């Protein structure tokens, strides 16, 4: 059992928690909690750290997953685990997991794709919620500008509730260039915009479609918004002018999901 916060493995875990540069250089990220542990693909699992109390409760599942991944679990004292944890109430299980790399073609391909394109989303919790909602709504891939929040930030990872393992995504340097390239492949891009002339539920998303979602405070960059094939609006009551980025994305994604369900049921 590791009982010292000065242990070299403990120091590395803390660095991975705090430093994006180190996570990216090692191509790994951290997960915490029983649910994230149960759902992690065995091929992606690299290291397991647990408290004695967690091992006593979940010994069989930990040993099974560890054996199938060729890993020897490490025990941490409660004090050390609390030191490396990124949560206020640690749940006793933490793992190092391999990052998943997808190409643009893998993210945008498939049968009748439905994409989400994120421009400068900054809040890690928002980003994680968007990934989780995207999986639930049937989004087939997510494209993110290079200035979006780090998808492997511990707060983002927690907010995905496991969708990080299953939702295909890719970061791109030149978002407008990618949008124009996909438009040549018959994608239609829709931007939620104050200048939208049509309500979001009056537009058809049954073909190859993509929603453009902008920064929480400033919306889409002008050059990105200008790439849209159509501006759409989400009608508001009261004095509300706009919605949280994750909420707005959810409204649009589930409307597209509703339309596609109706298409398949016809």
**Range scoring the smallest mean pLDDT among 76-85, 128-137, 150-159, 230-239:** 230-239
pLDDT of residue 195: 78
pLDDT of residue 164: 97
Q: Please, where in the chain does CATH 3.30.1330.30 lie?
A: 8-98
Share of the chain above pLDDT 90, in %: 87
- How far is residue 208's CA from residue 69's CA, in Å, rounded to a whole number? 38
Phi, psi (deg, nearest 5) at residue 161: 50, 35
- How far is residue 253's CA from residue 25's CA, in Å, rounded to a whole number? 33
Residue 12's Cβ-count burial label (10 Å; 0-12, 13-18, 19+) is middle
Q: In this predicted model, what pLDDT tens digit does every residue of 6-35 receive, in sequence order?
A: 999 999 999 999 999 999 999 999 999 999
**Range scoring the smallest mean pLDDT among 8-22, 70-84, 158-172, 233-247:** 233-247
Cβ atoms 106, 168 nearer than 8 A? yes
pLDDT of residue 101: 87
pLDDT of residue 243 exceeding 90, the answer is: no
Q: In this predicted model, what pLDDT tens digit does every residue of 75-120 receive, in sequence order?
A: 999 999 999 999 999 999 999 999 998 999 999 999 999 999 999 9
Share of the chain above pLDDT 70, in %: 99
pLDDT of residue 241 exceeding 80, the answer is: no
- Given pLDDT bands bounded at 50, 70 and 90, which one contains residue 263? confident
Fold (CATH) for 104-265: Alpha/beta knot (3.40.1280)
pLDDT of residue 265: 56
Q: Please, where in the chain does CATH 3.40.1280.10 lie?
A: 104-265
pLDDT of residue 158 exceeding 70, the answer is: yes
Q: Is the dihedral of CA 119, 213, 115, 31 positive or negative?
A: positive
Query: SS3 for the chain, per residue?
Result: CECCCCCHHHHHHHHHHHCHHHHHHHCEEEEECHHHHHHCCHHHEEEEEECHHHHHHHHHHHHHHHHHHCCCCEEECHHHHHHHCCCCCCCCEEEEEECCCCCHHHHHCCCCCEEEEECCCCCHHHHHHHHHHHHHHCCCEEEEECCCCCCCCHHHHHHHCCHHHCCCEEEECCHHHHHHHHHCCCCEEEEECCCCCEEHHHCCCCCCEEEEECECCCECCHHHHCCCCEEEECCCCCCCCCCCHHHHHHHHHHHHHHHHHHHHHC
pLDDT of residue 266 exceeding 60, the answer is: no
- Given pLDDT bands bounded at 50, 70 and 90, which one contains residue 122? very high
Fold (CATH) for 8-98: 60s Ribosomal Protein L30; Chain: A; (3.30.1330)
- pTM of this prediction exceeds 0.85: yes
Over residues 173-188, mean pLDDT = 97
Q: In this predicted model, what pLDDT tens digit does every residue of 44-60 receive, in sequence order?
A: 999 999 999 999 999 89
Sheet harboring 28-32: ordered strands across?
28-32, 93-98, 45-50, 74-75
pLDDT of residue 242 exceeding 80, the answer is: no
Which residues fall within 8 angstroms of residue 244, CB to CB, at 6 or more apart? 126, 216
Over residues 201-212, mean pLDDT = 96
């Amino acid at each position: 059992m590791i009982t010292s916060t000065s242990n070299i493995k403990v120091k590395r875990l803390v660095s991975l928690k705090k430093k994006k540069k180190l996570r990216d250089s090692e191509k790994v990220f951290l997960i915490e909690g029983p649910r994230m542990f149960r759902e992690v693909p065995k091929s992606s699992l690299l290291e397991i750290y647990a408290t004695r109390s967690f091992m006593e409760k979940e010994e069989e599942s930990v040993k099974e997953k560890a054996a199938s991944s060729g890993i020897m679990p490490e025990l941490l004292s409660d004090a050390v685990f609390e030191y490396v944890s990124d949560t206020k109430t640690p749940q006793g299980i933490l793992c190092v997991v391999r990052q998943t790399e997808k190409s643009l073609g893998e993210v945008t391909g498939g049968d009748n794709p439905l994409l989400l394109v994120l421009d400068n989303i900054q809040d890690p919790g928002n980003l994680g919620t968007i990934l989780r909602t995207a999986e639930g709504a049937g989004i087939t891939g997510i494209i993110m500008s290079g200035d979006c929040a780090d998808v492997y930030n511990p707060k983002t990872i927690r907010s995905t509730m496991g969708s990080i393992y299953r939702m295909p995504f890719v970061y791109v340097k030149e978002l407008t260039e990618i949008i124009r390239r996909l438009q040549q492949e018959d994608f239609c891009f829709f931007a939620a915009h104050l200048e939208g002339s049509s309500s979001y539920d009056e537009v058809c998303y049954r073909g190859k479609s993509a929603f453009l979602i902008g920064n929480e405070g400033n919306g889409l960059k002008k050059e990105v918004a200008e790439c849209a094939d159509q501006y759409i609006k989400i009608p508001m009551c009261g004095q509300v002018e706009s919605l949280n980025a994750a909420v707005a994305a959810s409204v649009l994604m589930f409307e597209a999901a509703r339309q596609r369900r109706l298409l398949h049921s016809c």
